[in-house]
Structure 1
Amino acid sequence: MTILALKEDRPTPKAVYNWRVYACAAVASFASCMIGYDSAFIGTTLALPSFTNEFDFASYDPDDLALLQANIVSVYQAGAFFGSLFAYATSHFLGRRKSLFVFSATFILGAGLMLGANGERGLGLILAGRVLAGLGVGGASNMVPIYISELSPPAVRGRLVGIYELGWQIGGLVGFWINYGVNTTLAPTRSQWLIPFAVQLIPGGLLFLGIFWIKESPRWLFANGRREEAMRVLCWIRNLEPTDRYILEEVQYIDQDIERFEREVGKGFWKPFLALKQAKVRWRFFLGGMLFLLQNGSGINAINYYSPTVFRSIGITGTNTGFLTTGLFGVVKTVLTFFWLLWLVDRVGRRRMLFVGAAGGSLCMWFIGAYIKIADPSSKPSGSMSGAGVAAIFFFYLWTAFYTPSWNGTPWVVNAEMFDQNTRSLGQASASANNWFWNFIISRFTPQMFLKMKYGVYFFFASLMLLSIVFVYFWVPETKSIPLESMDRLFEIKPVAKANSILMEELVLQDAGADEDEKAKHSHLERPESA
């Protein structure tokens, strides 16, 4: 198989893998550029001399300053938590596309508010703007994976949802480097820290404009009785005629899925909540939440939001040196995300990458924590680093290499895939809310954790990564190449480790049986009448 080879659930016309489905996914993924940029730029902006001088950070004692920085970062996650829940309501009543319109507008309003802050007015506008921006990205983080997964042919669904993760990394790359740029080229004036805040408006504006071009999810249109429009959109996205066998089969699968869940769960805003009475539905909600708990438990958001603090703990001193090291971290993440997107997610699959990422990442964290415990680099203000210190930096980047093509984007892919039509919006709302809740916890308490736990922070994250291996092995099935309409069956098969291969065999046999029935039908029609 080549690097771009696909494993299909049924014979698929090449026209299905056309530019339109990729373009829709790319436009929607400007939302993740907004999220990635914020996660990268805010920590380094808080460390800019111009920002610390403007808001007189020197007048705070260490504990109060850590609390202030944590609040500036974490109110964004708090807003995102509620935004991801609000998105369930907007998705139900407005659809995926109009929901993205609402949340992109909310983000732009919040980003604009932040630009009004200064030393005289204080940090109030930044805090309020970050709450609004958080509402916007929280809602978008719910909508975009659902939207992309509902547009995607099964064989490239991981790749297309992965574009969302790629957008996150590109936004992060810009966020990491922009503060290095303004710190090295601009005087420490208000403009120096204002520019990074203003750049947020670029991905937000691109998403807002792109929404006027992208189409509504055909699955949402079918589920809401808008069949004529749904057929037009589906044929446009697949680049096939309405009479094509692939289109007829896909519509049949969608209709069967909708009919079954209308029968078992029922239509309506509150009906999916009633579905939580079913153990199988509650189980998938639990799995989605745990994946994001373990993702945040890897330490990624502690590093994203407080990268200068992390690198200082390893022994890197100086604002420019810290920013440069952080920027290289962003480069490594982005390059590896391309590799994950093009090959690993749809070739290697979800489970294997989660195993490898957790095992390798845990070993790296154990080494870094042990180095800080033994060498105590914070007691050497000269900034000189031993060979062990250089090794610790190497293991930090090695941790990035393990984490990025595994736990960084894979939980979003799995959550976008594993819920059925009637609980997909609610399930994704739950998963996104879990992501932002644990993101909030980490961002809110990381400064205090580094003050109190020191090297123990790395041991804490290493232990959680080991725990994630056990969790995935026993409870998370491989979702690669499985049609959305067959996810219920996937989660019924035991043992979990073999569920994907068993179901793929069933689907191949089912398609072969359909072909035999079709041949028998034509043979009967074409048989000449006996004299």
Structure 2
Amino acid sequence: MGLMTLVEDRPTPKAVYNWRVYACAAVASFASCLIGYDSAFIGTTLALPSFTKEFKFAELSKDQLALVKSNIVSVYQAGAFWGALFAYVVNYFWGRKWSLVLWALIVVVGAGMNLGATGERGLGLIIGGRVLAGIGIGGASMVVPIYISELAPPAIRGRLVGIYELGWQMGGLVGFWINYGLTKTMAPSHRQWIIPFAVQLIPAGLLFIGAFWLKESPRFLLAKGRRQQALDNLCWIRNLPADDLYIVEEVAFIEAALDEQRRVIGAGFWKPFQAVARDRMTQWRFFLGGMLFLWQNGSGINAINYYSPTVFASIGITGTSTSFLTTGIFGVVKTTLTFVWLLFLIDKLGRRKLLMGGALGGSLCMWWIGAYIKIAGTKPSSSGHLSSGGTATVFFFYLWTAFYTPTWNGTPWVLNSEMYDQSIRPLGQAWASANNWFWNFIISRFTPQMFNSMGYGVYFLFSSLMILSIPFVYFLIPETKSIPLEAMDRLFAVKPASKANKVVLDELRDQEAEFRADAKDADLRVKSNMKAEYRESV
């Protein structure tokens, strides 16, 4: 089997893998471009001499400066936490498409507020705008993975949800390099630091405009009883006629799952909450989904994303331009490896192997970095350049990036977009997104203080958490690759988790064979009756 081989749950027409489903995923993923851009640009912008001079950072003590920086960064994550929770309400009543329109509009307004900040006015407009933009992006982060997973054929679901992660990295790539370019081409000024804030409006505007073009999720429409619109949208997305067997089967599977869920938990805004409260299996999946983001943030990625100049200074890299260049290379490595993850790994190797392998390799790299800083300190050599040990440490930092990016960076989002059934998927995704932003907030809020007080111990903390994630994944997370969304209840019921994927795929193939055999028998009976009626008429 080649790297691009698709493992299908049933025979699938080639027309299903068409440009439309990829285009819908790409448009929705402008939301992740915003997330990636913010995580990359804000740390380097706070380090720009023009920004630090305008807002008088030099007059602050070390602890005061750490507090101001952490507040500017973390209010975005705090807003995103609440946005992810609010998104459940909007998503339930408005659906996926119109939710995205609303959240994109909020981001545009929040990003626009940042542009009014000056040294005389203070940081209020930046902080207030980042809170508002965070609310919008938190809502979008809840909606987009659900929307993409509900549109995606099972064989490429990981790849399509991975476009969301790719957008994250593309936005991050721009964010990591923009301030390096500005320091090389523009003298320090108000305009120098306001440009990075203004660039946020580009992906935000594209998301807002593009969301009007998107088709509403057929699963959402069927859940709301709008069957004809759901069928029309599904046929457009799959590029197949309504009477094609693949469409007939897919609608039948979705409706059967919806009927079962209505029978078990009922329909209504509060029913998913009641289902979670009384069903231990559902509670268990909520726990797993939330923990995945604890382990993801525990790897140290957002400490590096938001405070890359601080992180590289801890290794011994000095100078604004050099620090920004090192950060920019970090962004290139992440983006390149995200393409590898998206095209070759997520739907080929699956989720479990990626998470465990990435955690092991990444942890070893973090141990090296922490040990080097403990032994050698962070001062560059007398020549002003890194020592050979420091250069090796930078190599291990990039090696850590190579382990982390194609594994933990996007895979938790893929898993959380898949693991909940239709009736609780919006609530489950809201919970997962809120968990992501909560742990993101904790890291972004306290990273400066952690580096001030713990030093090299920060890297030992991250490496230990990565090691602890391995048994968590092995014993508790089943492989979701190629499993239809409607079969996730069964997948999480099979024990042990390491064998659940094979068991469920075998069951699905048996069901498919029975379905087609029944369809063939029914067709033969119809033809036989038609022949009999014809003979009688003659």
TM-score normalised over the length of structure 2 = 0.97
Once the two structures are TM-superposed, the CA of residue 525 in structure 1 deviates from its matched residue by 4.4
Task: Give yes or no for contact 1:315–1:383 (8 Å, CA) kept in 2.
Answer: no
* Equivalent in the alignment of 1:246: 246
| Superposed CA offset, 1:344-384 (max 9, x none) | 00011000000110000000000000000000024868643
* Equivalent in the alignment of 1:189: 189
1:32 matched to 2:32: yes
Task: Give yes or no for contact 2:177–2:324 (8 Å, CA) kept in 1.
Answer: yes
Once the two structures are TM-superposed, the CA of residue 522 in structure 1 deviates from its matched residue by 3.4
**Counterparts of 1:274-285 in structure 2 under 5 Å?**
274-276=274-276, 277-285=278-286
- Paired amino acid for 1:107: V
Distance in 2, Cα, partners of 1:173 & 1:222:
39
Distance in 2, Cα, partners of 1:97 & 1:57:
42
Gap change, CA 1:288 and 1:383, over 3 Å in 2: farther
Once the two structures are TM-superposed, the CA of residue 2 in structure 1 deviates from its matched residue by 2.9
Once the two structures are TM-superposed, the CA of residue 521 in structure 1 deviates from its matched residue by 3.0
* Equivalent in the alignment of 1:66: 66
Gap change, CA 1:109 and 1:382, over 3 Å in 2: farther
Distance in 1, Cα, partners of 2:523 & 2:130:
63
Once the two structures are TM-superposed, the CA of residue 341 in structure 1 deviates from its matched residue by 0.3
Distance in 2, Cα, partners of 1:417 & 1:213:
24
* Equivalent in the alignment of 2:313: 312
1:236 matched to 2:272: no
- Paired amino acid for 1:16: V
* Equivalent in the alignment of 1:506: 507
**Counterparts of 1:50-129 in structure 2 under 5 Å?**
50-129=50-129
1:459 matched to 2:460: yes
Once the two structures are TM-superposed, the CA of residue 518 in structure 1 deviates from its matched residue by 2.5
Task: Give yes or no for contact 2:337–2:405 (8 Å, CA) kept in 1.
Answer: yes
**Counterparts of 1:19-418 in structure 2 under 5 Å?**
19-276=19-276, 277-378=278-379, 383-418=384-419
Gap change, CA 1:381 and 1:219, over 3 Å in 2: farther
Distance in 2, Cα, partners of 1:61 & 1:420:
51
- Paired amino acid for 2:417: A
Distance in 2, Cα, partners of 1:193 & 1:428:
35
| Superposed CA offset, 1:83-129 (max 9, x none) | 00000000001111111011000000000000000000000000000
Gap change, CA 1:28 and 1:393, over 3 Å in 2: same
Task: Give yes or no for contact 2:478–2:500 (8 Å, CA) kept in 1.
Answer: yes
Once the two structures are TM-superposed, the CA of residue 191 in structure 1 deviates from its matched residue by 0.5
Task: Give yes or no for contact 2:380–2:386 (8 Å, CA) kept in 1.
Answer: no
| Superposed CA offset, 1:13-57 (max 9, x none) | 111111000000000000000000000000000000000000000
Task: Give yes or no for contact 1:316–1:383 (8 Å, CA) kept in 2.
Answer: no
**Counterparts of 1:427-442 in structure 2 under 5 Å?**
427-442=428-443
Distance in 2, Cα, partners of 1:337 & 1:358:
16
Distance in 1, Cα, partners of 2:382 & 2:41:
26
* Ranges in structure 2 where 5+ consecutive residues have no aligned partner: none
- Paired amino acid for 1:328: I
Once the two structures are TM-superposed, the CA of residue 516 in structure 1 deviates from its matched residue by 2.1
- The SS at the match of 1:26 is helix
**Counterparts of 1:446-485 in structure 2 under 5 Å?**
446-485=447-486
Distance in 2, Cα, partners of 1:429 & 1:381:
52
Task: Give yes or no for contact 2:380–2:387 (8 Å, CA) kept in 1.
Answer: no
Once the two structures are TM-superposed, the CA of residue 497 in structure 1 deviates from its matched residue by 0.3
Task: Give yes or no for contact 2:33–2:170 (8 Å, CA) kept in 1.
Answer: yes
Task: Give yes or no for contact 2:99–2:143 (8 Å, CA) kept in 1.
Answer: yes
* Ranges in structure 1 where 5+ consecutive residues have no aligned partner: none
Equivalent pairs: percent with the same residue? 68
- The SS at the match of 2:405 is helix
Distance in 2, Cα, partners of 1:495 & 1:460:
30
- The SS at the match of 1:347 is coil
- Paired amino acid for 1:111: A
What RMSD over aligned residues (CA atoms) do the two structures have, in Å? Answer: 1.3
Once the two structures are TM-superposed, the CA of residue 5 in structure 1 deviates from its matched residue by 1.6
Distance in 1, Cα, partners of 2:450 & 2:137:
26
Distance in 1, Cα, partners of 2:161 & 2:48:
34
Task: Give yes or no for contact 2:316–2:380 (8 Å, CA) kept in 1.
Answer: no
